[in-house]
């Protein structure tokens, strides 16, 4: 099942069912008005939505409309337009190793058993075609391409196995970061506030069964393809080199608190050991350039720059649709 949200009439948007080819969508009125409602009423709503999804797939939904046209018109919100909890892990330690190597530092041993994770803000997610807005190009505007799990309710102290049963949907995120603000902020010791901007989700979120065999023990074994200004930037495989699965990350987040339906858990920037797979964030490219070429070459994003982040199945079809954003000045 593939799900999206139309913008409005409330800040929670309007839940949509989308067909597997992402060409047609239909309002789920009468089943679940919003994604947040669905996540809180999954058991009751899921079977009815499956029936409606089957009708849509067969072309039998009379009220279906052109999803791609709605997307192009800017009418599509993030599948979950706002989330109460956004907890972002660092599953790909290659990313952490490269960043640390550039400052002659090592990854602490504990990082391989105790996930690094921060709590971010998700009170206003961007839709996949919404612009990245910043008040200054000097912030060091960067993308971070990641996989995200959206959960149902999770009990405090849930094990990774228990966490696995709570995964409702998978999608992609562009976790926007302001690199030049981060060193001073992290030095204060309390994590990120100014260093992270609003984030965008892919146009659709999908139930794990849509990923078939590629959904493997809490990892998604497909490549995340990123382009910057139309130029290939990387295609690391999200199933490779992940020290922690999404199940591990959910369990870590739930160690001392209940997670409520609609919690979003991120993998952290996807990164493979194989340098041929490129990058899913600019900072990592820059630290590798620093080590190998003596100075960083890839600039951070400027106004007018575009980023495109997507993931394809083995047939080459887009799974979640593309995050395609342009950087603009905040008005």
Alpha helices (H) along the chain: 35-40, 42-57, 67-72, 93-101, 160-164, 182-187, 246-253, 282-293
- Shortest distance, position 237 Cβ to its own copies, whole Å: 25
- Shortest distance, position 114 Cβ to its own copies, whole Å: 8
Asked if 42 contacts 152 with a C-beta cutoff of 8 angstroms, the reply is: yes
- Binding status of residue 262 toward its own copies by CB under 8 A: yes
Give 121 or 296: the residue with its C-beta nearer to its own copies. Answer: 121
C-beta neighbour count of 8 within 10 angstroms? 12
Interface pick for its own copies out of 6, 170, 181, 282 (rule CB under 8 A):
181
- Binding status of residue 82 toward its own copies by CB under 8 A: yes
C-beta neighbour count of 51 within 10 angstroms? 10
CA–CA gap between residue 36 and residue 40 (Å, rounded): 6
Q: What are phi and psi of 284, to 5 degrees?
A: -65, -40
What are the tokens at 169?
């949907």
Nearest to 281 by CA among 77, 137, 142, 115: 142
- Binding status of residue 274 toward its own copies by CB under 8 A: no
Range in contact with its own copies (rule: CB under 8 A) among 187-195, 227-235, 274-282, 313-321: 187-195
Asked if 262 contacts 150 with a C-beta cutoff of 8 angstroms, the reply is: yes
CA–CA gap between residue 325 and residue 307 (Å, rounded): 5
- Shortest distance, position 317 Cβ to its own copies, whole Å: 33
Interface pick for its own copies out of 4, 15, 91, 134 (rule CB under 8 A):
134
Q: Which of residues 188-207 bind its own copies (CB under 8 A)?
A: 188-198
Interface pick for its own copies out of 11, 48, 297, 302 (rule CB under 8 A):
11
- Binding status of residue 255 toward its own copies by CB under 8 A: yes
- Shortest distance, position 8 Cβ to its own copies, whole Å: 13
CA–CA gap between residue 82 and residue 173 (Å, rounded): 13
- Taking the C-alpha atoms of 328, 6, 174 and 242 in order, what is their torsion angle to the nearest 10 degrees? -170
Interface pick for its own copies out of 110, 213, 293, 315 (rule CB under 8 A):
110
Interface pick for its own copies out of 65, 260, 296, 303 (rule CB under 8 A):
260
- Shortest distance, position 99 Cβ to its own copies, whole Å: 12
- Binding status of residue 312 toward its own copies by CB under 8 A: no
Asked if 160 contacts 125 with a C-beta cutoff of 8 angstroms, the reply is: no
Range in contact with its own copies (rule: CB under 8 A) among 16-24, 71-79, 252-260, 269-277: 252-260
Give 116 or 214: the residue with its C-beta nearer to its own copies. Answer: 116
Asked if 107 contacts 260 with a C-beta cutoff of 8 angstroms, the reply is: no
Farthest-apart Cα atoms in the chain, separation: 61
- Shortest distance, position 211 Cβ to its own copies, whole Å: 26
- Binding status of residue 160 toward its own copies by CB under 8 A: no
Burial class, 300, CB count within 10 angstroms (exposed 0-12 / middle 13-18 / buried 19+): buried
- Shortest distance, position 86 Cβ to its own copies, whole Å: 9
- Binding status of residue 24 toward its own copies by CB under 8 A: no
Tally the residues of the chain: 331
- Binding status of residue 85 toward its own copies by CB under 8 A: yes
- Binding status of residue 156 toward its own copies by CB under 8 A: yes
CA–CA gap between residue 211 and residue 223 (Å, rounded): 12
Interface pick for its own copies out of 114, 216, 274, 317 (rule CB under 8 A):
114
What are the tokens at 47?
């079977």
Binding residues (CB under 8 A) for its own copies: these are: 10-11, 40, 82-85, 87, 108, 110-111, 114, 116-124, 133-135, 139, 156-157, 178, 181, 184, 186, 188-198, 252-253, 255-260, 262-263, 330
């Amino acid at each position: 099942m593939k799900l999206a949200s139309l913008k409005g009439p409330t800040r929670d948007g309007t839940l949509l069912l989308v067909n597997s080819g992402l060409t047609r969508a239909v309002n789920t009125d009468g089943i679940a008005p919003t994604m947040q409602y669905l996540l809180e009423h999954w058991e009751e709503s899921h079977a009815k939505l499956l029936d409606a999804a089957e009708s849509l797939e067969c072309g039998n939904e009379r009220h279906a409309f052109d999803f791609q046209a709605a997307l192009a018109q800017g009418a599509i919100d993030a599948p979950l337009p706002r989330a109460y909890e956004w907890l972002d892990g660092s599953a790909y330690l290659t990313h952490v190793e490269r960043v640390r190597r550039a400052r002659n530092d090592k990854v602490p041993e504990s990082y391989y058993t105790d996930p690094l994770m921060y709590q971010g803000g998700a009170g206003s997610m961007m839709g996949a075609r919404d612009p990245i807005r910043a008040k200054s190009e000097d912030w060091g505007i960067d993308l971070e391409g990641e996989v995200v799990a959206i959960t149902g309710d999770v009990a405090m102290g849930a094990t990774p196995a228990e966490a696995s049963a709570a995964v409702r949907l998978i999608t992609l995120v562009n976790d926007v970061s302001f690199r030049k603000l981060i060193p001073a902020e992290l030095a204060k010791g309390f994590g990120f506030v100014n260093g992270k901007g609003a984030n965008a989700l892919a146009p659709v979120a999908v139930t794990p069964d849509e990923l078939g065999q590629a959904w493997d023990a809490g990892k998604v074994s497909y490549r995340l393809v990123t382009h910057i200004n139309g130029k290939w930037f990387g295609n690391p495989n999200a199933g490779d080199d992940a020290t922690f699965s999404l199940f591990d990350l959910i369990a870590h987040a739930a160690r001392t608190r209940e997670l409520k339906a609609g919690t979003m858990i991120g993998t952290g920037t996807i990164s493979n050991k194989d340098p041929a797979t490129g990058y899913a964030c600019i900072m990592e490219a820059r630290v590798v350039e620093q080590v190998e070429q003596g100075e960083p070459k890839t600039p951070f994003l400027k106004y007018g720059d575009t980023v495109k982040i997507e993931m394809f199945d083995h047939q080459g079809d887009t799974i979640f649709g593309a995050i395609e954003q342009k950087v603009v000045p905040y008005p």
